[in-house]
Structure 1
């Protein structure tokens, strides 16, 4: 069966949300291999996604020049793709499957790529001329491309993004880092404390200390942007483990998958934690979780009351007591962790 190519978004969180559309395409074309195109930082996550065969890498924001796009198109031409779904509206992205001669190039022509995009979802004109704030979430937009603009019928639920870390990878990661699988672990994703999406440093430290007193491991996950926050937490709690220097994002997925519960804020890593399926508590500014948060049903969102100052963005209205209660509830209602 001829394979299908899906052009995904480059940021980690956006790429993960594209997995909802990939699942729809896989159900529509059972047995057809599905490959994805995304950025270098997101591409390693493709191997953790059911239905994805492999990932092609392009520079983030589609910055490569015409020569680089032509080179990628020549490589894609050898794969004999049946169709390309363009989950991004970028003209630079749309040029690649056109140059590769992929017969069907499906997407919304938001940058007027008529001819380059040659199969338009139902309602494409209404979507192209819409003004004002977006009325649909990003994951609904990418699913609309996969469903050719058709609305979900009856009780149909759009699929949640999913990622799976192979058990052997998880076991190998525990061995490399000397992790005791029997000891509960709290994974913290803080973002930068100066970021409007973050929660105050002292509250993260208080939560970390509370769990450490009860015999838990505390792991700080993320990347370069979280290193300063990790240093602040470790200054107050030296036994906390700083994983923010992890060079490989798939290692970060092992950290999250191996933890007992994940506590984080708005950001790409929170989408990864949700897609991995473990207990997940997320702190968001008011009214932001619906628009930018993960869509996985098991996630517990904590938002500031709408009456607090700066209520659209600020997270200070979320108390430590609410977070502790949510963490305990998340663990208690996860079958694989009950009685642990």
Structure 2
């Protein structure tokens, strides 16, 4: 048996994108156990990820673990008898762990010159050390390149989009617990925090929520601690909205999104999760462009400033409420016509 460990990125959106690489690895080694290692905030998503057996967690982001903790983790990993480790993060601090654990095959790009610590390099690995051309490589493509060992996908094939699966039973149980009527349309809104340039105006979120409440929709505010301030401001002016930002973990938030009719959000990990679970999404982007940073799933509509927008225009202010209303209406007509 070839046990495989995948070192994933810690942020929620980056972790979701790592599932594309996991799917490629699972196809190459069918039936073999695949475990992942990531942050406590992202790890709950593994129970929704096909092909993943279990998750290890590292408390500190960017692998800033003291050497003693890294040695302890390596000892625990050694007990699992992993045969290969895919390093989707290029951190040397992360690469030390599978080396200390004695995992025979350690696959990744040596961006921090970890030669020897990383002992299997993708084809043409040296190209990743130098910037070529004006286009920035997407993280989605980078993690897939490691899983493919630097080889191009076969002719006519596409890289798999990330997937999160919520079972019908789990969805039904969630609706029962919260008294949600599946016959009533629901708009899930992810705002991020007000200080984040990636967010949209609170007043515009409020206007959109009020418009949908006025047409008989349920409106749910989803997210976590960073979104609670905005959720409280919206709910203070529109008590009909439901605030789900006290959700215990990200997997619960994905259930909320899967139960909604359409999702409206901005650039962030929750939006990547919404796209991966297959929710029809309208995503507002700003100075972070959608091509390098956005989800690659099919049911996503991106709204962003024109390419010609001056560089000093930051954030998402150039995306108007009218564009969002039109995009939401078109998305509902396409994916939930019974509520159009």
TM-score range, shorter chain: over 0.9
Match of 2:128 in 1: 127
Match of 1:72 in 2: 73
Compared CA separation, residues 61 and 232, structure 1 to 2 (3 A): same
- Contact 1:286 / 1:311 at 8 angstroms: preserved in 2? no
Q: Does residue 30 in structure 1 map to residue 4 in structure 2? A: no
SS in structure 1 of the partner of residue 233 of structure 2:
helix
Match of 1:21 in 2: 21
| Partners of 2:141 and 2:313 in 1: CA distance | 22
Compared CA separation, residues 245 and 287, structure 1 to 2 (3 A): closer
Aligned residues: 338
Match of 2:58 in 1: 58
| Partners of 1:309 and 1:89 in 2: CA distance | 33
Match of 2:8 in 1: 8
- Contact 1:286 / 1:306 at 8 angstroms: preserved in 2? no
- Contact 1:8 / 1:86 at 8 angstroms: preserved in 2? yes
User: Is there any run of 5+ residues in structure 2 with no aligned partner, and where?
Assistant: none
Match of 2:188 in 1: 187
- Contact 2:38 / 2:56 at 8 angstroms: preserved in 1? yes
Compared CA separation, residues 305 and 228, structure 1 to 2 (3 A): same
Match of 2:282 in 1: 281
Q: Which moved further from structure 2: 241-250 or 269-278?
A: 241-250
- Contact 1:288 / 1:312 at 8 angstroms: preserved in 2? no
**For 1:307-326, what aligned pairs fall within 5 Å after superposition?**
307-310=308-311, 313-326=314-327
Report the RMSD for the aligned CA atoms in angstroms. Answer: 1.7
Q: Which moved further from structure 2: 238-247 or 132-141?
A: 132-141
Match of 1:339 in 2: 338
Match of 2:235 in 1: 234
SS in structure 2 of the partner of residue 215 of structure 1:
coil
- Contact 1:285 / 1:311 at 8 angstroms: preserved in 2? no
Per-residue deviation, 1:79:
1.4
- Contact 1:197 / 1:315 at 8 angstroms: preserved in 2? yes
Give CA deviations for 1:202-249 in whole Å, capped at 9, x if unaligned: 211111111101111110011111111111211221111111111222
SS in structure 2 of the partner of residue 18 of structure 1:
helix
Compared CA separation, residues 45 and 175, structure 1 to 2 (3 A): same
- Following TM superposition, the consecutive aligned residue runs of length 4 or more in structure 1 with deviations greater than 3 angstroms are 129-134, 306-313
- Contact 2:198 / 2:287 at 8 angstroms: preserved in 1? no
Match of 1:166 in 2: 167
Per-residue deviation, 1:313:
3.7
